[in-house]
Chains A and B, each alone.
Chain A
Amino acid sequence: MRVQMFVVAWSLSLLMFFFYVATGWLTDVRKAIVAKQEAKVLEVLSVLLFENDEEAKQVHNKASALPTPALLRVIQTLAVDLDGQARARLQQLVRTNGLEKSIRRRATARRWRMRVQAAQLQYLVTHPDHDRSKLLNDKHSLVRARAAESLTPNQAAAHVEELLELLDDEAIVVRIAAQDAVLTAGSRAVPALLERLERGEANALQALQVAANLPDARLTSALDDYARSDDIERRRLSAQALGHGGGTATAQILERLAVDDDAEVRVAAIKSLAVTRSQRSAAVVGRALRDRSWLVRRAAGLALDDLGAPGHMLLRRHLHDDDPFARDMARQILDSIAARTGLSIVPALDNPLDLADSGLIEPSDTAADPDGSNDPADEATAARELVANDRDAQIALAQSEAAAVAANPESAVASSAASIALTIESPVAPDEERSAVTIESPLPDVDSPDPVEVSVPTVEQPSTQAPRVEVSAVPVADVQKPLVQNTAAGQPSIREAQAQPDHAQFTQAQAPQAQASQAQAGGAPSASMLVVAEREEVELDLRLDDAFLEALLGPAPDEDDS
């Protein structure tokens, strides 16, 4: 009995051994035959689709002799977005080779596997009677998904209504395929999507998700209601979608969402605010650095980085924030910027009050010491008092920083390495000697190639008794060179331009003139100059938004106090 058991067991093993090897070998043989067929099809198709007309015509007849299943299998693997000529030839092959008929027959087959194949290939069918909608509404989820996936952008735009219906499909694969197809249709899908969002259907999450990924400002009008929804996910997606919009109304909705009860909504709103790249948004995002949620604080920090110059200025202000969490996040983000740009940060420049205490004061040539001791400490105290008590001085300092930032294409971190000179003149009386203090930032680790002066206007004081403040920023960026040429060629300086009523108008008008003046001087407009010319319109507008200034400098003192 025991021996018999042994024999049975090992016989079974031996049998399995042969079965395994034999079935494996048969599979190999079948695969080799299929691979050979497909290789032949590929060879013919590669000539047919991509070679010149002569060669393509020669192999066209060969293609007719190829086995249809192998041909369909290979065509299935080809990209939907073949370029024009290859695609036209493929469509011609499908038409003339009877494949179109085969595909259309499969589209109505009882077996769903056949319909899946038809769904995948129907983008090639040009027959006027072919109804794509049928496969999009097939009873089998995979057929619907394949039909949605295989639509070309034009076809997706034509079937956008049906695709939007599929967003509510019970199968996730269909929903995602439909979402992608709608996104492929791009802006052509917006009217239908907008209508769907405006209908406010209960199950609008999928549509919102599409809207959140479709950059089109037209959608924002429908999103306000969703932004007020009780559902967190709807508010979050609305916030995400609103980032593609613009204008005050959108900004206001986003500002409201930036203080939502849910942290994820706040994060989405802050990220969207960063997209607007406005000073007003920077102020809102800056406040979020004090949020109770770490996720929101991080999003705010990263958003301030994304906001560029105004964001960087705010980040540096928050290094002195009362809130330790805001300070910490600002420090982390600035460190990451510093590591990215290879420049160090000079936080002493950030706060006008700290500036006076920073020990960076250099006696000015024109400075007149009240007691004649020429003591830097006295000058520091004088500067501190002047800046601390004078909102205009603070604003001027902020403007100087903005000027340096605007002049530098990289970041405020880079601008902190610029030399910012601040001259504060004491109350000027016609007969009195002027006193002034000049404060300069250090240039710790940046080579200074040909510093170029960019001036910002003197802050006009209504009274002769008020201190007069003059600020000049000296950035070091190379791209500023065209600006010098601009000035040298007789164009108004930025400072002069600021005095003009409409600065934006000036910058738009002057950009081509700057190029022209350089061309007259014998040089072709350089790339950097064009960059600067483009930047002037936005970046060199040094009028700082009130909300931004408040975020930057704190609330303005009351009139009575001053």
Chain B
Amino acid sequence: MIKWFFDSIADIAAAWVIGITALQLMMVASAIYEFRRLRMRDRHQVWKRMLTSRLAPRVSILVPAYNEEVTVSETVTGLLALSYPNLEIVVINDGSPDNTADVLINRFDLRPVHPIYQERVEHADIKSLYRSSREPRLVLIDKFNGGKADSLNAGVNVASGELVCAIDADTLVAPDALQQLVAPFLHNPDMVAVGGTVRLTNDSPVRAAAIPHLVVPKKPLPALQAVEYVRAFVVGRLGWNPLGGNLIISGAFGVFKREKVLAAGGYEKSSIGEDMELIVRLRRVGYERSEGARVEFLPEPVAWTESPESAKVLARQRNRWQRGLMDVLMRHKRMILNPRYGSAGMISMPFFFIVEFLSPIVEALSLTLLFVGLVTGLVDPASLWVLGAAYGFGAAVTILTLWFDDMAFGSYPKFIYRVKLAGYAVLEQLFYRPLTIVWRLWGVRLFLMGRTEWGQQVRKGFTTS
């Protein structure tokens, strides 16, 4: 029995990996279909004209900042360069002990003003509100520390736009990205949130607060993440549009209907995955109140962010993401397989439960048992061929996503970049994937222990040229 069990382990592991790869392949197909649909809708970029209109809805960009003195100034400069006609930029300094607020005050000549706003969702007290005499679109909220969700709640309260765009303080936004993200709200009145693609800037030059062309990061860890981001955003999230809608809009770059966010109670401060939690709640509330609550992902509006370069920081980030995912699934567990919640309950939530939550556990368990079986001689070494084949299929699908990204968006437009990325796609399967499993398992453990803190991020700053 034990012999049979161990003999089957490699096959189970391989079946699991192939199953996940098949789902990814399905997502690629779905993404290609969705890409064609969006291209047909937004062909000739009519939104460009449409949203330089005087009738464009007002958008408030919320930039929560905690210890972001290195990048915040560049980020705000980039946001001020956006071509959107009706814009407000609200930076929320979440009680940073560093000079985040001072950097902004000095750079943009900010002066204190009296805050006039309605506190519809709770947040930590605001110490002071600043406006710039040079840039009337810029507002700085200096508040006591309360976390990212708390900062976003303060921003949503103070913001004056019909739409709010949440981005991270270390994120640069493409000049026309906002126009593209706002367009779906005009097409569909049921739209509550729209997200865009986030790409990694490590080693890419910054000119005029934008990235003229992406460069494959020199260090292996950020390069592997670049491949991962292409798969996660361009294929993963785009593919979800026709399959029941997204459950995640990246906290680094997404636009929301302000009134809907306020009506749903704002960001959940006690959740570590506040961005996903808000989306799930918006959709849940939409179903419960029989209101439209569509969430869409657009592949072309791009924001750029910096990825962690050290394994330690990356590990913290991944375990936080895993805890966030588990937290959201636990909070909204009654949605899973509940027909009342439509495609979100019947497709998206079960998928996230199986693929994102169970996957690291099953894969780690299988690999551990396989290793034990090989050491003890209970597993035939020939079984490894099957596991190797599964990873081979995984690499092929990842390269397929890179090809799709290249054809559709030309993100890395150089021969050498493509060679490097394809090479990293292979390495990802062999080295990076097991590592992420370990980090995610660590996240599962911490979640079960009730740990909800964020951990510290180290910012390098953008490479300005």
Contacts and interface: CB of A to CB of B under 8 A. Distances in A.
Interface of A: 2-3, 5-6, 8-10, 12-13, 15-17, 19-21, 23-25, 27-28, 31, 116, 142, 145-146, 149, 172-173, 176-177, 179-180, 183, 209, 213, 294-295, 298, 301-302, 329, 332-333, 335-336, 338-340
Contacts of A17: 399, 422, 426
B44 A142 contact: yes
A149 B403 CA distance: 35
16 contacts: A2-B389, A5-B386, A5-B389, A9-B388, A16-B395, A16-B396, A16-B400, A20-B418, A21-B415, A21-B419, A24-B406, A149-B46, A172-B187, A213-B55, A298-B116, A340-B113
A515 B412 CA distance: 68
Given A16-B403, A20-B406, A25-B415, A180 B389 contact: no
Contacts of A338: 114
B415 A2 contact: no
Interface in B249-289: none
Contacts of B53: 176, 179-180
B403 A19 contact: yes
B97 interface: no
Contacts of A20: 399-400, 402-403, 406, 418, 422
Contacts of B390: 9
Contact of A23 (B50, B382, B389, B406): B406
Contact of A339 (B114, B383, B422): B114
B458 interface: no
B54 to A, nearest CB: 6
Nearest to B116: A332
A471 to B, nearest CB: 31
Interface in B372-425: 382-383, 385-386, 388-393, 395-396, 399-400, 402-403, 406-407, 410, 413-415, 418-419, 422
B49 interface: yes
B43 A142 contact: yes
Contacts, number: 132
Nearest to B130: A339
Q: A-B pairs with the 5 shortest C-beta distances?
A: A9-B392, A335-B114, A2-B385, A16-B399, A5-B389
A146 B44 contact: yes
Nearest to A141: B46
A333 to B, nearest CB: 7
Contacts of B403: 16, 19-20, 23-24
Given A21-B415, A213-B55, A332-B115, 20 more contacts: A2-B383, A2-B386, A8-B389, A9-B389, A9-B392, A13-B393, A15-B396, A16-B395, A16-B400, A20-B399, A23-B407, A27-B407, A28-B413, A31-B410, A142-B43, A146-B46, A179-B53, A209-B55, A298-B116, A332-B114
Contacts of B413: 24, 28, 31
Given A23-B407, A180-B55, A332-B114, A13 B385 contact: no
Given A6-B386, A12-B392, A24-B418, A339 B407 contact: no
A339 B112 contact: yes
B116 A333 contact: yes
Contacts of A9: 388-393, 396
Given A2-B385, A3-B385, A336-B116, A27 B55 contact: no
B465 interface: no
Contacts of B418: 20-21, 24-25
